[in-house]
Structure 1
Amino acid sequence: MTAPGTPAAEQPAEPPVLVERRGRAGVLTLNRPRALNALTHEMVGLLDEALQAWAEDPDVEVVVLRGAGERGLCAGGDIVAIHRDATTGGTGSEDFWRDEYHLNALIARYPKPYVALMDGIVLGGGVGVSAHASHRVVTERTRIGMPETGIGFVPDVGGTWLLSRSPGELGTYVALTAGHADGADALVLGLADRMVASSDLDRLVEQLADPSAGDVDAVLDAVAVAAPASTLTAAREWIDAGFAHDDARDVVAALRARPEPEARAAADAVEAKSPTSVAVTLRALRAARDLGSLEEALAQEYRIALRMLRGHDFPEGVRAQVIDKDRNPRWDPASLELLQDADVASYFAPLGDAELGLTRPPSPASAGAEG
C-alpha cells in the first residue's frame, strides 16, 4: 500500500525474487506477477546467489520455490528481451542462457531438499527452475509445457533431458507439438512427483518451514492428494506408434495413417510448427536419451540455442506470437520436405571456446574414495 501523500512512482520497487528465511526453510518467490514471473538475467543471478549461500548454511534445511500472484509459477524466459538480441546481434541472451543453464544444473544437484511448487502456468524456463528439483509439486491448476517449437526454438533448460526420459514417446509428443500438460499428465511425464490442492499450498509452506515438522517427504505425503486419470496415459497407443520415428517426416506420416482423430490433429500441430525447430528438437531428444548426464544435455541445448538465436525462425516465431501477434509465422524453410539433413546437423556442432563448460560434479561417494 502507498503511504498517504506519497506518489506511487516514488515507492521502492520490490525485487524480482523475494528471498526469505522462514524457520528451517529458505523460501524463494519469483516476483514479477504482471509478467507471469518470466525469468530475467537478474532473477537467475538472485536465485543462484541465494542457493549458493543456503547450501552452506546449516540453519537452512529445505528450500521452497514458488511464484507470486495467482496465475502461475513462471511463464519462461523474458522472450521480448531475447527477441531484441536476436534482431540486433546482441550477446545478452547468450550470457543469460549460460547462467540459466548453470542454475538448472545447480538445482538438479542441490545438496538439500528443494521443493518446487508448480502451481498454475509453468512454461519453458519455469520448467528449468522446478522440474529438476528433488521434490516437485503440482496442483489441479497446473499447466506445464515446453512451447518452444511454436516460436522457432527448441526445448532447453534441460527439457530435452527430461522429456527424453518420459514413458514411451509421451515426451516426444509434448516437445514436437508444443503441447501443455495438466498436473496429472506432469506426474506421468516424470516432470513432477506429487499433487497437492492449490488451497493447501500456504499450509504446506508453513509445515515445511516448521523445525518440528519432521522429514520433508513425510510433510509432503501428508498433504498430497491422489491425481485424476491422465489423458496422456489414455492416448499412449497412438502417441507411441506415431512418435516412435527418428525423422519428423516419418512422424507426421505415421500420425496421419492412424485412425484416431487426435493423431491427425497432432500431425497438424507438428506441421504448423517451425520445421527446423521440429527436426532439431527430435534429433536432440534422441541424442539426449544416450547422454550420461543433465550437464551434457544442457551443453547440447546451449549449442543449439546460440545457433537458433542467429537463425531465421526464432526471431520470426517470436515476432508472430509475441510482438505483432498475427499468429502467422513465415518459416524458412516452410516445410519439413524442404529441410536438408545437413542443416539440422549444423545446430549440433561444437562451439569451441564458447562451449557451456558444465561438468557433472563427482558424487559424494566417489569424492570420498578419491580423498
Structure 2
Amino acid sequence: MNAAAHAGEDPVLLSTEGRTGRITLNRPRALNSLTHAMVLRMTEALTGWEEGVGDVTQVLLTGAGERGLCAGGDIRAIHDDAKAGGTASADFWRDEYRLNARIARTPLTYVAFMDGIVMGGGVGVSAHGGVRIVTERSRVAMPETGIGFVPDVGGTYLLSRAPGELGTHLALTGTAVGAADAVLCGLADHFVPSGRLPELAADLAGHDVHDVLPRYAQPLPPGHLAGRRAWIDHCYAADTVEEIVDRLLTHGDPAAKEAAETVLDRSPTALKVTLAALRRARALDTLEQVLVQEYRVSCHSLSAPDLVEGIRAQVIDKDRTPRWTPATLDAVTDAEVARHFAPLGGRFGELDLDLGPGPDLGPGQR
C-alpha cells in the first residue's frame, strides 16, 4: 500500500482509526527493512491493543512508499555484527521471532497488505496474520540462500506446509512469486487490486474486514507454479540437494534446468541446512517449535563464513560474485549441517529462544 511517509518521522507509524489499529512500516528508502527498534515498537503496539487500549479489534499492516511492504531485515547491520563476532543479531532475531509468534496467535484480527515487495522478515510480519492480502504488484519471497543464510521468521514452517514440494522449490531457489502462487503456497489469502487498497483501508476504520473484504476481493490472476507441480514435486522430493539438482538437470523441462542453475548459484552450506530445516519443520507441530529451531540455525549461521560473504557480494560491494566456503555441495559435511541445529551456548548463552506462554514445545525444544 502506498502510504505517505516524510523525512524525520518514526520508522514505525501508529494510528487508531475506529476499532482498527494501523501499523505503517516507514523506511521507504530502505524498502521498509526491519530494525530491532521497529520490531520492539510493533510488539509494544500489539501488546497495548491486545490489552484494550483504544478498543482496537483489528490491526492493519501497511508499508510506506511505492515499492513494497518490507524487503526483510536490515542485513547490513547483520553483516557488520557477524563480521565483528557480536550478538546484536541474535538479540534482534530473538525479539523478531517472538513478534512472528505473537502475530500468529494474537486475538486481534491481523490484516496485512502484502503489496509490492514482501521478502524475508517482511513475510514474517505479514504471512502469519489472519487476513493476508496480495495484489498484482506482489512479489513474495524467502531469498535467504542467496546471501548464505537460511529461511527464518517462521518461513520454514510456512514453506514446509505448502502443497507438495512447492515450499522446497521456493526455499532453495529463493524465487519470488506473485499473487496466485503466494495463495497456492499458503503465504496469502485474498487478491485485491493495488489501486483499491486505500479505499479498503478507509473502510476498515468502521467495519470488520470480513464484512467489507468481499466487495474488494477479486479472482486471482494466473500463476505459474500450479502448472509446474509435476516436475517440482518429483525433483524436490529427493533426499539430498545433490540429487535434487541432478533430477532438475535431467528432467527435460527448461524451467527445471533454470531452477537447477539458480540452486547451484546459492550457498552450498545454506542449501543443505535449508533442506534439513524444511524436513525437520514438517515433523514439528507448531510454529513456536519451528521458530526455536530457526533461532538455533540463525545464530549458528553467524559463525559460518557464507553469511558475511553473501551479504558482502549482494549488498555491500554488489559484485554479485560470492565466494562460498566450501564452494561445492559435496564438500559440505553432515557434521557441518548438524552443527546448525545444536543447542546454543557460548556467546549466545545457554538458553534457546523463549516464546513465553503458548503451546508446549516438548522436551528439549525450549
What TM-score results when the alignment is normalised by the length of structure 1? 0.92
- Which of 329, 333, 339 is equivalent to 1:336? 329
The answer on 1:48 being equivalent to 2:48 is no
Give, in angstroms, the shift of residue 342 of structure 1.
1.2
- 8 A Cα contact 1:295 1:360, kept in partner: no
- Helix, strand or coil for the counterpart of 2:343? coil
- Which of 354, 358, 365 is equivalent to 2:355? 358
Give, in angstroms, the shift of residue 359 of structure 1.
5.2
Q: Deviations over 1:319-342 (max 9, x none)?
A: 000000111100011010111111
- Which of 9, 26, 33 is equivalent to 2:28? 33
The answer on 1:241 being equivalent to 2:234 is yes
Q: Deviations over 1:70-90 (max 9, x none)?
A: 100000000101100011112
Letter in 2 for 1:331: W
What is the aligned length? Answer: 350
- Which of 157, 160, 168 is equivalent to 1:161? 157
Cα RMSD (Å) of the superposition? 1.3
Q: Deviations over 1:56-98 (max 9, x none)?
A: 1161011000000110000000010110001111211110000
Give, in angstroms, the shift of residue 180 of structure 1.
0.4
Larger deviation, residues 353-362 vs 21-30: 353-362
The answer on 1:197 being equivalent to 2:193 is yes
Percentage of identical aligned residues: 57
- 8 A Cα contact 1:153 1:305, kept in partner: yes
Query: Where does residue 89 of structure 2 map in the other structure?
Result: 93
- 8 A Cα contact 1:16 1:31, kept in partner: yes
Q: Deviations over 1:135-177 (max 9, x none)?
A: 1000000001001000000000000000000000001000000
Letter in 2 for 1:308: S
Query: Where does residue 172 of structure 2 map in the other structure?
Result: 176
Query: Where does residue 366 of structure 1 map in the other structure?
Result: none
For the residues of structure 2 that align with 1:21 and 1:154, how far apart are their CA atoms?
36
Query: Where does residue 8 of structure 1 map in the other structure?
Result: none
For the residues of structure 1 that align with 2:227 and 2:320, how far apart are their CA atoms?
31
Give, in angstroms, the shift of residue 360 of structure 1.
5.9
The answer on 1:229 being equivalent to 2:229 is no
Give, in angstroms, the shift of residue 343 of structure 1.
1.0
Q: CA distance change for structure 1 residues 199 and 92 in 2, over 3 Å: closer, same or farther?
A: same
Give, in angstroms, the shift of residue 362 of structure 1.
5.1
- Which of 112, 118, 121 is equivalent to 1:116? 112
Give, in angstroms, the shift of residue 218 of structure 1.
2.6
- Helix, strand or coil for the counterpart of 1:235? helix
- Which of 284, 293, 302 is equivalent to 2:295? 302
For the residues of structure 2 that align with 1:344 and 1:142, how far apart are their CA atoms?
33
Query: Where does residue 23 of structure 1 map in the other structure?
Result: 18
Query: Where does residue 363 of structure 2 map in the other structure?
Result: none
For the residues of structure 2 that align with 1:268 and 1:129, how far apart are their CA atoms?
30
Larger radius of gyration: 1
Give, in angstroms, the shift of residue 36 of structure 1.
0.4
Query: Where does residue 58 of structure 2 map in the other structure?
Result: 62
- 8 A Cα contact 2:25 2:64, kept in partner: yes
Alignment of 1:281-320 (within 5 A): 281-320=274-313
What TM-score results when the alignment is normalised by the length of structure 2? 0.93
- Stretches of structure 2 lacking an aligned partner (at least 5 in a row): 1-5, 361-366
- Helix, strand or coil for the counterpart of 1:192? coil
